[in-house]
Structure 1
Amino acid sequence: MQFTVSGVDVAVWIPPLTAFAISFFTSMGGMSGAFLLLPFQMSILGFTSPSVSATNQLFNIVAIPSGVMRYAREGRMVWPLTWAVVFGTLPGVLIGAVARVHWLPDPVRFKLFAGLVLLYIGVRMARDLVSNRQNGAERRFRANVRSGAAAGKVDILEASATRIRFAFNGETFTVRTPALVALTFTVGIVGGVYGIGGGAIIAPFFVSILGIPVYVAAAPALMGTFVTSIAAVAFYQLLAILNPTLSIAPDWALGILFGIGGALGMALGARCQKHVPAKAIKLMLCAVIVTTATRYIVAFFL
């Protein structure tokens, strides 16, 4: 099938199948899979114009709701944390979209940028694996799942402009709201350039820096990515109108096909997440991320 916007010529079943496989695993860690789908589009499909970032954001819009709804039904959605992420990430994503179009349109330079972003995410995950950190709430959650007992829901204790407090499986967690907003703003800029909505970067921060259990971090990270991706796609469409000579608007047919596969993979991944140890999820993602990042960085200098 020929996709006119991107120029990609590929069998119609390959995009949804690829997105399904990626999203099944990444959704367990609070990532939509867009950060791995973009290298697939660039390296395998040869889709390297700025339009690829917009198409990636479109994938998020179609794919994420199925996973978010599953987490919400299980009581693991921290809504105050979610809206703080949206508030900080949204302006950053829009700034990142402008940077992608005007300063990083060249595919070679963009691949270097993508490689550095992926390498940073991989290093964060590798540090977590080496330290083998796991809080008591995660251990109790896994023990309850194995025994068939109630796995535990999130209880919101406080939500204000200064801090967010919630309880999960016998432990209380506190996040400083201003620091979170500042962090997500920076993450949003990178996510806007890369075309991932920020969620693939904020999830490791939740777990590594803020100490939020991976079983709680996934839902708000995905929801934040979903909301900011809607704004990003609309913004890319506006930029396409203002810059008619550049390929900026998303490839709607390709993005929707990716999204359909991603929605199925994300729904299944969210359902299976509580049965999979967080360490196993991080190990798999870390290996894929670091390998892809290394290829891009090395290719830039050769």
Structure 2
Amino acid sequence: MTDPWILTAAVGAGALAAALGTPTGVSGGLLLLPVLLTAFGLPPTVASATNLLFNIVSTPAGIARHVRQHSLDRRLALLLAGTAAPAAVAGALANVFWLGDSPIFRYLVAGLLVAVGASLLLPRPRGARSARQLAGPAVTASMVVTTVLVVTGLASGALGGFYGLGGAVLAAPAALLVTGWPTSRVAGAALLTTLTVSVTGLATYAVADLAGATRVQTPHWPIGLALGAGGLVGSWLAVRFAPRVPDRLLRTGLAALVVLGALRLAG
């Protein structure tokens, strides 16, 4: 049985991670993975699967809030989530059978976190033209923007399934750069992508486990559910109050936390 104090800490960590990550659409899983590997001491494959479980429990509240506020861009969500879902299967299988339990996993995560942190600080184009094209009819949509977002969805799914981050870790920054939209407009689609990738990825872990595949470990259910319970509260509060925070401040703050997580892993 898991220590109640550990579960309490997990609830708090989930709430804080979701509150910080949800406004930018990357979900709290980005911040939790270093915590699961270091503070909670979970093996890499278990940490990835547990992170996916956290996303499944915590993200629906944020998505529902975006729907009620009419800030979920359905076209962008369908494009990203639809391409990310099948790629998540490949990412999860790569974790199980290839690098998931290797010591190099921590350095791969650290490198990914640094890249994401840097991308959040990049100046975004004044993308009114691209945004109009993406939001318009399919016939007039920019093929370049659409192609970039399809590739982004595929990469997001593969990375999300492998690392247990859900995919929005790449989808949100890339969509922000390509469309030039404000964070609040992209965040809902990115969270829906996270939920889709998390369900697909966790199902892949479960099927591989049932098939008796070697090196497969299921998520740590008590910690994952505790993290998710805290994440429900954190994501709801974030979507409610984040619009009052300047967009640049949101991205800068998250970038700093992401890089700190990377340094913690590599140190």
Is 1:220 the counterpart of 2:189 in the alignment?
Answer: yes
Any residues of structure 2 matched to 1:147-162 within 5 Å, and which? 158-160=136-138
More helix, by proportion: 2
Any residues of structure 2 matched to 1:1-302 within 5 Å, and which? 2=2, 10-128=5-123, 158-160=136-138, 163=141, 176-297=145-266, 299=267
Is the Cα–Cα contact under 8 Å of residues 121 and 255 in structure 2 kept in the other structure? Answer: yes
Is the Cα–Cα contact under 8 Å of residues 162 and 178 in structure 1 kept in the other structure? Answer: no
Q: How many residues are treated as equivalent by the alignment?
A: 264
More strand, by proportion: 1
Q: In structure 1, how many angstroms separate the alpha carbons of the residues matched to 2:198 and 2:249?
A: 28
Stretch moving more, 239-248 or 18-27: 239-248
Q: Percent identity?
A: 28
Q: In structure 2, how many angstroms separate the alpha carbons of the residues matched to 1:244 and 1:103?
A: 12
Match of 1:168 in 2: none
Is the Cα–Cα contact under 8 Å of residues 30 and 218 in structure 1 kept in the other structure? Answer: yes
Shift of 1:160: 2.8
State the Cα deviation string for residues 204-259 of structure 1 (Å, max 9, x = none).
Answer: 11112331221100000001111221111111101112245434222222211110
Stretch moving more, 265-274 or 207-216: 207-216
Q: In structure 1, how many angstroms separate the alpha carbons of the residues matched to 2:137 and 2:205?
A: 33
Is the Cα–Cα contact under 8 Å of residues 89 and 198 in structure 1 kept in the other structure? Answer: yes
Q: In structure 1, how many angstroms separate the alpha carbons of the residues matched to 2:66 and 2:171?
A: 17
State the Cα deviation string for residues 14-43 of structure 1 (Å, max 9, x = none).
Answer: 101111011112111112110111110101
Shift of 1:124: 0.8
Is the Cα–Cα contact under 8 Å of residues 87 and 157 in structure 2 kept in the other structure? Answer: yes
Q: In structure 2, how many angstroms separate the alpha carbons of the residues matched to 1:70 and 1:83?
A: 18
State the Cα deviation string for residues 41-99 of structure 1 (Å, max 9, x = none).
Answer: 10101002412211111111110011111111111111111111111111221111111
Give me the CA root mean square deviation: 2.5
**In terms of Rg, which structure is larger?**
1
TM-score under structure 2 length normalisation: 0.90
Is the Cα–Cα contact under 8 Å of residues 161 and 177 in structure 1 kept in the other structure? Answer: no
TM-score under structure 1 length normalisation: 0.80
Report the 3-state secondary structure (helix = DSSP H, G, I; strand = E; otherwise coil) of the residue aligned with 1:233. Answer: helix
Gaps of 5+ in 1: 4-8, 137-153, 165-173
Distance verdict in 2 for CA 1:178–1:268, change over 3 Å: same
